[in-house]
């Protein structure tokens, strides 16, 4: 426990102090990811942040502190509890006591950490209220401070609602889905619905509507092709030449997309848009690995292959799959080393698909010509993350496809989806259409009840 060393030192010298010691297993270092890394690298499964083996009991930091003659507070699990613990700790320090707080606050997101999305939800709430809807809003949030509601708070908030509106910044449990007997659907303003388990929704007959508008997925398609071109043409290298008044290089470094093999892992709307746009660049071949496609349903002109063949043959590889237990860490060290040494890798889908430790390792060895990431496992990416130090990596903060065009229509689409659901119709954009028969049965039972 390196984090604990500070208060042992202070206790030794007798100076009153306040120490907040992190003692959690963070969501971006979860057990599924750690197990995948361990298997791939043939090493024990460990939590790299605090050195605990997964499965070990949590260390009682407050108890250890008390045993050393300090005041121990905690454990605390929410941001609010931590604030109160710090206030109490400061009072005790002023009394000449040394204090250690056992903090197990999990990192997280909330809509106010994305002010544009907060504006979308506010606009949609106003529109629904004007239509006579009773809109229940959660508690006020301090920007930048993660808020974790207790089970009781969530039950109170969701116990009498017809529709839950959530975003990819939320996390909805099965208890949340069962909180209201009136619940008929969930609506996301975004195209991603990672915040909820679709299988759990299907079992309950809950339809999930999302914001899969052309402005949403086609913006990401355009941005994905843009990243491919930026990396192939080494745009940032050319920018640097001008900014540094450097001489023209003796050898050119840019490569055309024309005549190269492009591989897409996954397809869907965004991947399909990428394929449509790639055709204009006349690639040698477009390879696709997608277990849900058949030769009859695949886009015209693409070649369906297994994943290993795609990794080995492609000059440019782009990921277009959701993040779940099956896809987390799907591009690990073994997969990266199968790629061509001068390959390009692009991920505009979800952070967590790529083992970032392995990516840093292979790129530090000179493998891969360039990588473009609009998403990372931890967002925002820590300031000291080694990916920031690699000059062949283009990093953007999960914003490439977030255009003015998209955000201007998001509130209208959210309201339309919600209105159609309350009228007993499917939303304009439905994420789990296969649930419709069970959903209609749920509505019928609710009406009879």
Torsion of CA 76, 80, 86, 89, to 10 degrees: -60
Which is more confident, 148 or 96? 96
Ranking 120-134, 144-158, 213-227, 235-249 by mean pLDDT, the lowest is 144-158
Residues 157, 203 share a domain: yes
pLDDT at 429 over 90: yes
| Residue for token pair 């969930």 | 186
Residues 369, 236 share a domain: yes
Q: Give the model's pLDDT for residue 46.
A: 43
Residue at which a domain ends, from 103, 128, 144: 103
Which is more confident, 104 or 167? 167
Residues 168, 134 share a domain: yes
- Residue 218 domain-assigned? yes
Residues 296, 374 share a domain: yes
Residues 298, 244 share a domain: yes
pLDDT at 119 over 90: no
SS3 79: helix
Residues 413, 276 share a domain: no
Kindly give the pairing relationship between strand 185-187 and strand 163-165.
Answer: parallel
Provide the CATH number for the domain around residue 146.
3.40.50.720
Q: What DSSP string runs through 320-367?
A: ----STTTTT-B-HHHHHHS-TT-EEEE-S-TTSB-HHHHHHHHHTT-
- This prediction's pTM: 0.67
- Residue 400 domain-assigned? no
Residues 366, 223 share a domain: yes
Ranking 4-18, 27-41, 227-241, 243-257 by mean pLDDT, the lowest is 27-41
- Residue 37 domain-assigned? yes
- Residue 41 domain-assigned? yes
Q: Give the model's pLDDT for residue 63.
A: 81
* Assigned token pair, 263: 């591989």
SS3 74: strand
Q: What is the number of structural domains in the chain?
A: 3
* 230: exposed, middle or buried (Cβ count in 10 Å: 0-12, 13-18, 19+): middle
289 forms beta bridges with: 265
Which is more confident, 408 or 48? 408
pLDDT at 367 over 90: yes
Alpha carbons 349 and 324: distance in angstroms, whole number: 12
Q: Give the model's pLDDT for residue 254.
A: 96
Q: Give the model's pLDDT for residue 366.
A: 96
* 307: exposed, middle or buried (Cβ count in 10 Å: 0-12, 13-18, 19+): middle
Q: Give residue 352's pLDDT band: very low, low, confident or very high (50, 70, 90).
A: very high
Alpha carbons 45 and 340: distance in angstroms, whole number: 29
- Residue 73 domain-assigned? yes
pLDDT at 50 over 90: no
Residues 366, 332 share a domain: yes
Alpha carbons 231 and 262: distance in angstroms, whole number: 13
Give the DSSP letter of residue 108: -
Q: Give residue 379's pLDDT band: very low, low, confident or very high (50, 70, 90).
A: confident
pLDDT at 54 over 60: no
CA distances from 109 to 67, 143, 398 (A): 35, 10, 13
Residues 224, 356 share a domain: yes
pLDDT at 36 over 60: no
- Residue 286 domain-assigned? yes
Alpha carbons 291 and 221: distance in angstroms, whole number: 20
- Residue 85 domain-assigned? yes
Please compute the mean of the pLDDT values over residues 202-209 and round it to a whole number.
96
Residues 274, 235 share a domain: yes
Residues 255, 203 share a domain: no
Cβ count within 10 A of residue 343: 24
> What is the domain extent for residue 184?
111-210+405-448
Q: If you average pLDDT over every residue of the chain, what do you get?
A: 84
Q: Give the model's pLDDT for residue 15.
A: 65
Residues 390, 429 share a domain: no
Q: Give the model's pLDDT for residue 105.
A: 61
Residue at which a domain ends, from 77, 103, 129: 103
Which is more confident, 27 or 131? 131
For CA atoms 202, 206, 211, 212, the dihedral sign is positive
Query: Which positions are catalytic?
Result: 350, 379, 398
């Amino acid at each position: 426990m390196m984090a604990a060393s500070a208060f042992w030192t202070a206790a030794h010298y007798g100076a009153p102090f306040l120490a907040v010691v992190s003692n959690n297993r963070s969501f971006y270092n979860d057990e599924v990811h750690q197990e995948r890394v361990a298997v791939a690298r043939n090493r024990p499964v460990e939590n790299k942040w605090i050195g605990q083996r997964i499965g070990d009991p949590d260390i009682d930091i407050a108890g250890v502190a008390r045993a050393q003659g300090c005041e121990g507070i905690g454990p605390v699990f929410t941001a609010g509890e931590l604030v109160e613990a710090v206030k109490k700790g400061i009072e005790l320090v002023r009394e000449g006591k040394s204090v250690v707080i056992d903090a197990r606050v999990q990192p997280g997101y909330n809509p106010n950490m994305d002010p544009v999305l907060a504006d979308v939800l506010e606009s949609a709430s106003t529109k629904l209220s004007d239509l006579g809807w009773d809109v229940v809003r959660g508690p006020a949030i301090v920007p930048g401070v993660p808020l974790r509601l207790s089970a009781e708070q969530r039950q109170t908030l969701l116990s009498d609602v017809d529709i839950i509106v959530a975003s990819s910044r939320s996390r909805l449990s099965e208890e949340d889905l069962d909180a209201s007997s009136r619940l008929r659907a969930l609506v996301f303003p975004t195209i991603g619905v990672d915040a909820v388990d679709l299988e759990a929704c299907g079992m309950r007959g809950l339809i999930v509507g999302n914001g899969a508008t052309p402005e949403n997925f086609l913006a990401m398609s355009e941005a994905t092709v843009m990243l491919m071109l930026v990396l192939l043409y080494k745009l940032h290298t050319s920018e640097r030449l001008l900014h540094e008044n450097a001489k023209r290089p003796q050898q050119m470094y840019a490569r055309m997309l024309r005549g190269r093999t492009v591989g897409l892992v996954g397809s869907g709307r965004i991947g399909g848009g990428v394929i449509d746009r790639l055709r204009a660049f006349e690639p040698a071949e477009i390879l696709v690995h997608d277990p849900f496609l058949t030769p009859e349903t695949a886009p015209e002109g693409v070649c369906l292959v297994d994943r290993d063949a795609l990794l080995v043959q492609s000059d440019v590889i782009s990921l277009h799959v959701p993040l779940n237990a099956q896809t987390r860490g799907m591009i690990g060290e073994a997969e990266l080393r199968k790629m061509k040494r001068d390959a390009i890798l692009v991920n505009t889908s979800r952070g967590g698909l790529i083992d970032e430790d392995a990516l840093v390792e292979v790129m530090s060895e000179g493998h891969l010509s360039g990588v473009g990431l609009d998403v990372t496992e931890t967002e925002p990416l820590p300031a000291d993350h080694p990916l920031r130090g690699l000059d062949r990596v283009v990093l953007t903060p999960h914003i490439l496809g977030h255009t003015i065009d998209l955000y201007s229509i998001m509130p209208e689409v959210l309201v339309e989806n919600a209105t159609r659901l309350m009228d007993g119709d499917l939303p304009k954009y439905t994420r789990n259409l296969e649930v419709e028969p069970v959903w209609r049965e749920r509505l019928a039972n609710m009406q009879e009840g």
